[in-house]
Chain A
């Protein structure tokens, strides 16, 4: 058995954990990071490939929130977490969202100016910028279609470093393994990769140690405080196993998405990249963007109607995949079951959610037709091939969310923060209600899905809370 000691144990090394570790280590705390997944250098595996899913995603990327329909989701499981594998698109939290969270959940010291100031720091650290050179064909399609419809659209900046004038595919991802984790290490933090946290040992309101495993070996860790940053699914599971239940895992929020593939006259497929243009005409209710379009993912997108759509798979270089995402009123549950390793995840869409998904898919098909798509293949069972506006009506009338392949990559709100104890699992700075030294500092804290890519919100909130922690200890 191996034993480690530290001041603060940070569980998870994604957008929440890496930023937390850097801030705490730089303030002089002895930080140990526990990461369940491996350290994978960029370039070791092809982006968005099955090999990447094997190496850097939980369960090879095959994870599902059960419901009608079930919603497929993915979780990064590697050093750097989701920042290593996602599209790197960066959206500041909308000001009205910050204000709504502050008032609705009684979050103290949650000032818009402060958070946006942290966002500026993050943007500097991650080289958040737009593509300096040429865009991929899939980006140009999204922009062209929206422009012709007169719909609001914009290029979303990414955490990428580009050589001067470089095109979209020539950037280097400025993920956590390139930014905040090296900062944390430079300040003395340590990381244990491929170590799974099995249990938090408690004495009353205090957590006094952690039990982990690595390659079948037991590892114990002593700490003063523990910060759980395992993401919106694992964080509530960890807390529930430690006996914390109050508002933990009861309010999972996601941005459900439905997809379509569109075929064009010329080659448009860029397997290793996604569109950086998003359509926000119907935001925050509905947004459109581009998905990874590897030939394998194209085949996957066509499988719901293989008999009618399958022939398109041989034209995959001329196909690209796009999504319509909605802000959902529905909520999900993350529930651990004694003796079972992984939590049960469920999600229930409301009628309004289901209607929005149908509307979103129809409008997304319009964008594609305006962008000169020859054929559009919506991802739901029984969907027609869409070649013109009349087909969109047919498609809309035959759509049902229960027949669609619904998925999400944005998961949050399973341990919402705020001083309103009836609604929230932690206080306004992430301290778990009922505990003296167990903190949460990741996407689980966001009280609702923000309606935009959430990782900027996660990093801003995590840095805010980490600084507060340091100030309190210094005082």
Chain B
């Protein structure tokens, strides 16, 4: 699995989470497209209104920190499945932004993220 490598955002918790989520849910999305989509998600998160941005960053950092202990995949799976108020909004936001970007930019993308032949 490729890793995000853009300078400046590579260390961001949101970047890691978005990268992992897209890799898990759109496994065939080519790495360059995934990097573009992650970049879009992070730019949008950075331009959120102040309070939303603070909330998303706080949740992102917490998820990242706990994920470092219990495993990021396990943590992502847990908050994606469980109907936890606010916390569940985090993967929902990242998925919504990422998927909207992928299909708006490459409308012929397959359901697993693969490029149409």
> Which A residues are closer than 8 A to B by beta carbons?
49-50, 58-60, 62-64, 68, 70, 294-300, 302-304, 306, 310-311, 313-314, 316, 337, 340-344, 381, 403
Contact = CB atoms under 8 A, between A and B. Distances in A.
B49 A294 contact: no
A308 to B, nearest CB: 11
Given A306-B95, A342-B51, 18 more contacts: A49-B104, A59-B52, A60-B47, A63-B48, A63-B52, A64-B52, A68-B85, A296-B102, A299-B100, A300-B96, A300-B99, A303-B95, A304-B92, A306-B99, A313-B109, A314-B109, A340-B51, A342-B52
A300 B40 CA distance: 15
Contacts of A310: 111
Contacts, number: 82
Nearest to B97: A62
Interface string B73-117: 000000000010100010011011101111111011111000000
B50 interface: yes
Interface centre among B83, B103, B110 (most CB of A within 10 A): B103
22 contacts: A50-B100, A59-B44, A60-B43, A62-B52, A63-B52, A64-B52, A68-B85, A70-B89, A295-B107, A296-B100, A297-B104, A298-B103, A299-B99, A303-B95, A303-B96, A303-B99, A304-B92, A313-B111, A314-B108, A337-B51, A340-B50, A341-B50
Q: Which 7 residue pairs spanning A and B have beta carbons closest together?
A: A296-B104, A342-B49, A299-B103, A295-B107, A296-B100, A342-B50, A299-B99
What is the interface of chain B mostly: helix, strand, loop, or mixed?
A: helix
Contacts of A343: 49
A297 to B, nearest CB: 7
Interface centre among B43, B93, B96, B100 (most CB of A within 10 A): B100
A59 B47 contact: yes
Contact of A50 (B47, B93, B101, B108): B101
A70 to B, nearest CB: 7
A64 B103 CA distance: 23
A50 B50 contact: no
Contact of A314 (B83, B105, B110): B110
B6 interface: no
Interface in B44-65: 44, 47-52
A306 B47 contact: no
B102 to A, nearest CB: 7
Nearest to A344: B51
A62 B44 contact: yes
Nearest to B25: A306
Contacts of B40: 50
A261 to B, nearest CB: 12
B89 A60 contact: no
Interface centre among A294, A299, A344 (most CB of B within 10 A): A299
A296 to B, nearest CB: 3
Given A62-B48, A62-B97, A50 B104 contact: yes
A303 B85 CA distance: 18
Contact of A295 (B48, B97, B103): B103
Contacts of B101: 50, 296
Given A296-B100, A306-B95, A63 B107 contact: no
A17 to B, nearest CB: 21
A294 B104 CA distance: 7
Contacts of A296: 99-105, 107
Interface in B23-50: 25, 40, 43-44, 47-50
A295 B50 contact: no
B111 A316 contact: no
B6 to A, nearest CB: 18
Nearest to B95: A303
B48 A313 contact: no
Contacts of A313: 103, 109, 111
